[in-house]
Chain A
Amino acid sequence: MSNDLSAVLPELIVSVGACLLLLVDLALPRSARAWLAYLSLLLIGAAGAATLAQATGHAEAFGGLFILDPFASYFKLLLYLATALTILLSIRYLEIERIHLGEYYAFLLLATCGLMVMVSSGDLIPIFLGLELASVSLYILAGLNRHERRPIEAAAKYFVLGSLSAAIFLFGMSLLFGATGTTLLDTAAAVLAHGHGGPVLWLAMIFLLAGFGFKVAIVPFHMWTPDVYEGAPTSVTAYMSVAMKTATFAVFLRVFLEVFGPIKPHWTAWLIVLSLLTMLVGNLAAIAQQNIKRMLAYSSIAHAGYAMIGLIVGGGLGTMSLMLYMAIYTVMNLGAFGVVILMRRTGAQGEQISDLSGLAKEQPAVALAMLIFMFSLAGLPPTAGFVAKFYLFMAAVNAGLAWLAVVGVLLSAVSAYYYLRVVMVMYMKEPSGPIELAWSPSAVAAIALILAVTLAIGLYPSPLVSYTQDATLHLSVHP
């Protein structure tokens, strides 16, 4: 039992810490709310230290419900990074948005805890528990600004569609249980390897796919994304766009490559179609957007399409490329949202792409950072985004899917168009007036860190590459 508890130590720290935050919030005066942020950072740091201590270990806890392996630890570290950066970006933003609720940080930590449980699950039940904990927290966070219409609408939409997808997902789980007689992933995989299944299994797979697809926003389950991303507070959007996607992809991969791995040849064609559709719709729709949050929403859809290539390929290289992709995507996407957050100041939304006009003249350092994030999202060297795409395409070519890589690269040339539009507006348009940014030391530190990481991974990806390579070694992922 004590072994079990030490395995879930990071989850314990985060969940107990979240409850603690709620209590501290009661005692703190309103003016000292920033301390909640620092306390949350401390908790994330503690969880990070706990995860690092067990990062190389392999263990199972609670009878296989909970898996501790380098794969899960890697994604947990990504989640900490995303959460910590989101907190740093939130402090000043919340003041401007007049979201004075101490619960913000508690819900952020609870969402993180849910996602952590998800990536460590060895069983369908904890996957669902984690997914729901994270989702419910995010429904609330999206609508936290209850004085305005847009966030309320976003939260309602997210909640209704999210609940529907959760129901579908749950139904898929029950069908899988019916087909295999177990909810444990490895047992189910063993049963399927012996050729049991049939139409029920197919239905289970389709329903699970729909559930995952909704959370990572792949076409045709993406409809909610632009509206929710636009309406939710930007810091929540930033968090949602990276953390939810990253963790869900980890589970998506575990379920599809481990459980459905034995019948992989039967489903790859379907996923390829979805991946193509996702890249196509995401990239094409992003071109037409005027609102930068909507543009980043469609761009995140397109990125989900790319990431699916890693899942389709599977095996060591596919898994590794997906892991790399999610890490790099997390960093660069947070960077782009970070700049959008800086643009939000009292009395100005700063969400239209045209609001960035002449930023390079007014705020050269921020413009340069945004330029690098945009080129990174477009996948150009020497930024991290190139490394991410490079390994994905490498995995695709290795699996004999060179044509998929070709379609992917051509669509990433399309994507360069809308990322470049941001650069163009910043560098080649005149400012309509002085641009004041919502400076705060924490946000500057976050963006500077993201910038450094984006360039460091782009110039010297070796450590991250070998880490992800090692983390895939023990996984039973089917190529």
Chain B
Amino acid sequence: MGEWLTLVIFLPALGAIGLWAVRGPEAAKRLALAVTVADLLCSLPLWRAFDRTTATMQFVLKAAWIPGFDIFYRVGVDGISLPLILLTTLLMPVCVLCSWRAIDRRVKEFLASLLLMETAMLGVFAALDFVLFYVFWEAMLIPMYLIIGVWGGPNRLYAAIKFFLYTLAGSLLLLVALIALYFEGGRTFDIMKLMEASYDASFQRWIFWAFFLAFAIKVPMFPFHTWLPDAHVEAPTAGSVVLASVLLKMGAYGFLRFCLPMTPYASQAATPFIVAFSVVAILYGAYMALAQDDLKKLIAYSSVSHMGFVTLGIFVFNVQGVEGALLQMINHGVTTGALFLCVGLLYERTHSRHIGDYGGVARPMPLFAACLVIFALSSLGLPGTNSFVGEFLVLVGAFLTEPAVAALAALGIILAAVYLLWMVQRVVWGQAQPTLERLPDLSWREAVTLVPLVALVFWIGLYPGPLLAVMHHSVEHVVAQVGRNSLPGGAHQLVQWIAGGGAGP
């Protein structure tokens, strides 16, 4: 199966090369769609074959790359990376479809960038070698820079360079940190071995903060978030979707995969700081979202807020919190990606993202309105939708360690309800603007992009059991590595309780 995983990673890159051979934008779109769908289909067997009873890496493949320095091509997945890989493969066909009409110049290059992105993102989640991880991690910047800078909005140059330099500065410290780990951890770049080695406290602190900077910028955590609204606003729809759904997850994934297991002491020492910034992010992001009248900016700030829940969940170090954080990563990917798609659909029709230009969209576009309402409700964490489960678990986890923090964070959910419902009210309901009367409703192509996401919203919201079962052992393992025990029985009971639809313990 290791070869299979490699196929999933590199199939999009092959597709990107294949794009040079086809003629014309239409053929290129069809090829890109075929490649991403094929990649999705290829990734499904991983889900089936995944052994849910263990925390060890599965589908592992190891091949020599630079053996003299113990650098290998090592890939594999566990319960933390598998859901993220599937999220990526699921969203990429959606991204291709939503660019079908929106991208009208240099289509081939755009699709090639998108496909190369996919390979890099899948590689990040599957890499078990630190150098391989870093190569994928950085390689991703190049296509994303082009996607924002070439196909973006009017202020795209500024947004693209800001995105690039911000993330690059963070990542480069990661490079020094991973080299230091190589020498300290027994001259190996094997992530699994580096996790097992133990490091002294001062070294851990040093490594942790280098990691922290790279990952916090990517998440982005509160003081490092300023690139995000710019990048989101300027990026084309597909770029926003990739950015929100997958790229932001890499920061959180980094915390889970590297910080917690490799630098447990430093992670614990930094907890007050990170928890505080997470709460600030939740509240500040929501507060900023309240004030936006640009739809994309509103969703971008809501991302800052939602990702605050993710970092909060990770840094409470119990199974509930971490599992909730991981689930929330998937949820945020689905819901926020879908919201960006919705904004993109509107923008294609009216060329405006200004909330004030809308009103009464429900009348000409009932199907679209239904979808937007569903995603907005999901984003604000309505019970029965996916985000409820994730946010609930995070809050439970936070409550177990620090009730005050949980109470403050819960305020973020209320604020989310305010800004999202208000947005929905102003866009979907109310007096229909005369200019909007004739907007066409969802086309088949657009419906196809949204329907699977709607299904996911309800599937995870009503029956998260299968997803949590995949994550559970890996999450427990991470929590055990960081050295604090969860409350006895807590996780299992909770999983069962939620799987049962919340029908009493």
Residue ranges of A at the interface with B (Cβ–Cβ < 8 Å): 360-361, 364, 371, 375, 380-382, 386, 390, 393-394, 397-398, 402, 405-406, 409-410, 412-413, 416-417, 420, 423-424, 427-428, 460-462, 465-466, 469
**Which residues from chain A contact B164 at a C-beta distance below 8 Å?**
416, 420
With A381-B135, A390-B131, A394-B179: A409-B141 Cβ-Cβ less than 8 Å: no
Q: A420 near B138 (CB under 8 angstroms)?
A: no
10 contacts between A and B (CB under 8 A): A380-B142, A393-B176, A394-B179, A394-B182, A397-B176, A406-B173, A409-B175, A428-B160, A465-B69, A469-B68
- Cα A466 to Cα B68 in complex, Å, equals 7
With A402-B180, A420-B145: A413-B172 Cβ-Cβ less than 8 Å: yes
Q: Is the CB of B192 closer than 8 A to any CB of chain A? A: no
Name B149's contact: one of A381, A406, A428, A460 (CB within 8 Å): A428
- Cα A64 to Cα B131 in complex, Å, equals 42
Q: Is the CB of B146 closer than 8 A to any CB of chain A? A: yes
- Cα A360 to Cα B156 in complex, Å, equals 17
Q: How large is the interface on B (under 10, 10 to 19, 20 to 34, 35 or more residues)?
A: 35 or more
Q: A410 near B135 (CB under 8 angstroms)?
A: no
Q: B179 near A405 (CB under 8 angstroms)?
A: yes
- Cα A423 to Cα B143 in complex, Å, equals 12
Which B residues between 165 and 203 are near A, CB-CB below 8 angstroms?
165, 168-169, 172-173, 175-176, 179-180, 182-183
- Cα A469 to Cα B135 in complex, Å, equals 22
Q: Closest residue of chain B to A417, judged by CB?
A: B165
- Cα A380 to Cα B144 in complex, Å, equals 14
With A409-B175, A428-B149: A386-B157 Cβ-Cβ less than 8 Å: no
Interface residue SS majority, chain B:
helix
Shortest distance from the beta carbon of A156 to any chain B beta carbon, whole Å: 39
With A398-B183, A409-B172: A424-B139 Cβ-Cβ less than 8 Å: no
**Which residues from chain B contact A371 at a C-beta distance below 8 Å?**
142
- Cα A424 to Cα B68 in complex, Å, equals 37
Shortest distance from the beta carbon of B72 to any chain A beta carbon, whole Å: 11
Q: Is the CB of B161 closer than 8 A to any CB of chain A? A: yes
With A420-B164, A461-B66, A462-B66: A381-B179 Cβ-Cβ less than 8 Å: no
Q: Is the CB of B65 closer than 8 A to any CB of chain A? A: yes
Q: B64 near A462 (CB under 8 angstroms)?
A: yes
**Which residues from chain A contact B67 at a C-beta distance below 8 Å?**
462
Contact with A along B63-91 (1 / 0, CB 8 A): 01111110000000000000000000000
Shortest distance from the beta carbon of B121 to any chain A beta carbon, whole Å: 14
Shortest distance from the beta carbon of A384 to any chain B beta carbon, whole Å: 12
**Which residues from chain A contact B66 at a C-beta distance below 8 Å?**
461-462, 465
- Cα A412 to Cα B149 in complex, Å, equals 21
Shortest distance from the beta carbon of A150 to any chain B beta carbon, whole Å: 32
- Cα A424 to Cα B142 in complex, Å, equals 12
Residue ranges of B at the interface with A (Cβ–Cβ < 8 Å): 64-69, 106, 109, 131, 134-135, 138-139, 141-142, 145-146, 149-150, 156-157, 160-161, 164-165, 168-169, 172-173, 175-176, 179-180, 182-183
- Cα A382 to Cα B65 in complex, Å, equals 13
- Cα A424 to Cα B145 in complex, Å, equals 9
- Cα A4 to Cα B80 in complex, Å, equals 64
Q: Closest residue of chain A to B135, judged by CB?
A: A381
Q: B139 near A381 (CB under 8 angstroms)?
A: yes
**Which residues from chain B contact A469 at a C-beta distance below 8 Å?**
68
**Which residues from chain A contact B180 at a C-beta distance below 8 Å?**
397, 402
With A380-B142, A381-B138, A428-B157: A410-B172 Cβ-Cβ less than 8 Å: yes
Q: A462 near B65 (CB under 8 angstroms)?
A: yes
**Which residues from chain B contact A390 at a C-beta distance below 8 Å?**
131, 175, 179
10 shortest interchain CB distances as A-B pairs:
A409-B172, A381-B135, A413-B169, A397-B179, A462-B66, A381-B138, A428-B149, A405-B176, A413-B168, A394-B179
- Cα A420 to Cα B134 in complex, Å, equals 20
Q: Closest residue of chain B to A413, judged by CB?
A: B169
Shortest distance from the beta carbon of B70 to any chain A beta carbon, whole Å: 12
Shortest distance from the beta carbon of B132 to any chain A beta carbon, whole Å: 10
**Which residues from chain B contact A394 at a C-beta distance below 8 Å?**
69, 179, 182
**Which residues from chain A contact B157 at a C-beta distance below 8 Å?**
424, 428
**Which residues from chain B contact A380 at a C-beta distance below 8 Å?**
138-139, 141-142, 168
Q: A409 near B176 (CB under 8 angstroms)?
A: yes
- Cα A381 to Cα B143 in complex, Å, equals 12
- Cα A67 to Cα B11 in complex, Å, equals 50
**Which residues from chain B contact A382 at a C-beta distance below 8 Å?**
135, 139
Q: Beyond the given A364-B109, A409-B175, A461-B66, please list 5 additional residue pairs across the A-B interface where CB-CB is below 8 A.
A: A371-B142, A397-B182, A402-B180, A412-B172, A428-B156
- Cα A364 to Cα B183 in complex, Å, equals 43
Interface centre among A361, A410, A423 (most CB of B within 10 A): A423
- Cα A469 to Cα B67 in complex, Å, equals 12
**Which residues from chain B contact A417 at a C-beta distance below 8 Å?**
161, 165
Shortest distance from the beta carbon of A378 to any chain B beta carbon, whole Å: 8
Q: B165 near A416 (CB under 8 angstroms)?
A: yes
Q: A465 near B68 (CB under 8 angstroms)?
A: yes
Shortest distance from the beta carbon of B6 to any chain A beta carbon, whole Å: 14
**Which residues from chain B contact A364 at a C-beta distance below 8 Å?**
109
